[in-house]
Structure 1
């Protein structure tokens, strides 16, 4: 596998710049653009145009600053990780794309090994706890086979010098369409998956159930003809309707500055009360602060007449 920084990268997309897309080769650059999921219709359309341009011209067709990048790990550790990853992919990848979290407190290494239909997404952590939970949920999904959603398929896992990784099969080779509501039956199937893996917390109220706890348009996607729900590391137990309330609050906050009542909040006031302190405690980057503030206004429920 080539040195990650040998050909250079472009930061993508223009506003967020949290994905490092390889400038070459073109097939890796196009796949790298899929690490970002636009959450609104117009940006998603623009992402598809840029994806098409990258397929022809490589990363040089994308807007954004150019820079070098290499793995922030010791060279010996990187060499061992690369060896393990190539064994999972089945061949040398064409290149890598890198996703960098916007929340500094949740910083982690996530790379997409670009190899066409053999591509895999690799998450690397020092603490393997969240990796293990996601891996078990993926395995549970293979056993339970939910109909409403698809969970990324586990490709492999391993470790090197105290660094732990889990790899998943790439969902699609073109941008994924964001979704704004959970499909019918998803809440019950999510609960079944989570409750298979995550023990019920001591003292949790009797009505609480398993929930994803990070359902958003960038985690709920339409890819390859399937509805895919990713990023299960926060999954746990919560009041009924927690996922539906969270998703509706995010979608509404993205679309309007107006205060309005949310049907899901009216139906599940306990879920709104659950989310308020969690969202209030967040320290988002400047690009996300307005979204958090709008959600805090929406979640208390209907505005008095």
Structure 2
């Protein structure tokens, strides 16, 4: 029960799906980096909050202090904790990320030793981690010159839960890049994943893709570091699928406008179908409704997008 005892504070204010350890200054600073806001106002507030914790310590993290009741059940959680400590050494505390969507199970855990991140662990009850492990292994053996990706460190399971441990981001705030080299990034993904990902019946003309290329997963860390995170949706999709989805999500969250290009029709239809299947009761339903509106617009745009009220 040691690693679930906390104490933790839940952030951000609306979603409250991240539990920040407030046992020390550095632990709280590391935990706050699990939040990946995109909009300028939220980014400024988040960076200011991180700097305040660095200056004054965890007492500046507002909210009730409480332990965490693991969604795995306490017995499984304790067994998982033993597995992680056998692999990474003593873990002093953790920061916890729970998916805000009610329809998506799973939890991710930032492991801290002496208040320093040693691994980021994804816990799932389905097989999606297998694709992420394949993609990250391919990128480890042949890194991209245009972005960094986490390195797979270990895998395991306990009961119905499977886990994948990967290297953690540097423990500093991050942000969406202003002008990312998207075409080069997508080309690198196609080249490196083409021999690593099983096709599983995908049409012959489909290409390897990240599958969730968005401003909250493509992050500028420090002055020059560019990281591409969350590879669970890696697989095969129609040509241009990653570029279309990034453009649509950036339109909603960053106000950049969405422009359809010649040859995008199949990719747009692909995302229309995928977004339409998402439950309207999930936390991010406003984002998905706005994506549906943008993707449904015919013609070449650009399509302006009002920013929905979300704490992304």
TM-score bin, normalised by smaller chain: 0.7 to 0.9
Relative to 1, partners in 2 of residues 1:7 and 1:264: Cα closer, same or farther, differing over 3 Å? same
Is contact 1:28–1:94 with CA below 8 Å preserved after alignment?
A: no
Q: Which has the higher contact order (CA 8 A, sep 6+)?
A: 2
Q: Comparing both structures, which one devotes a greater share of its residues to helix?
A: 1
- Match of 2:190, SS? helix
Is contact 1:18–1:99 with CA below 8 Å preserved after alignment?
A: yes
Is contact 1:245–1:265 with CA below 8 Å preserved after alignment?
A: no
Correspondence for 1:278: 274
> CA separation in 2, counterparts of 1:7 and 1:219?
27
Q: Does 2:86 align with 1:87?
A: yes
- Match of 1:104, SS? coil
> CA separation in 1, counterparts of 2:56 and 2:68?
20
Superposed, which structure 2 residues align to 1:46-125 within 5 Å?
A: 46-90=45-89, 92-115=90-113, 116-125=115-124
Runs of 4 or more, structure 1, over 6 Å off, are: none
> CA separation in 2, counterparts of 1:217 and 1:161?
34
Is contact 2:19–2:96 with CA below 8 Å preserved after alignment?
A: yes
Superposed, which structure 2 residues align to 1:1-305 within 5 Å?
A: 3-90=2-89, 92-115=90-113, 116-127=115-126, 129-179=127-177, 182-183=180-181, 184-202=183-201, 204=203, 206-223=204-221, 225-256=224-255, 262-285=258-281, 287-300=283-296, 301-302=298-299
Is contact 2:110–2:117 with CA below 8 Å preserved after alignment?
A: no
- Quote the offset at 1:105 in angstroms: 2.1
Relative to 1, partners in 2 of residues 1:277 and 1:6: Cα closer, same or farther, differing over 3 Å? same
- Extract unaligned runs of 5+ from structure 1: none
Relative to 1, partners in 2 of residues 1:186 and 1:84: Cα closer, same or farther, differing over 3 Å? same
Pairwise CA RMSD: 2.6
- Quote the offset at 1:218 in angstroms: 1.0
- The size of the alignment, in residue pairs, is 298
- Match of 1:185, SS? helix
> CA separation in 2, counterparts of 1:37 and 1:27?
18
- Match of 1:4, SS? helix
- Quote the offset at 1:38 in angstroms: 0.8
- Quote the offset at 1:154 in angstroms: 1.4
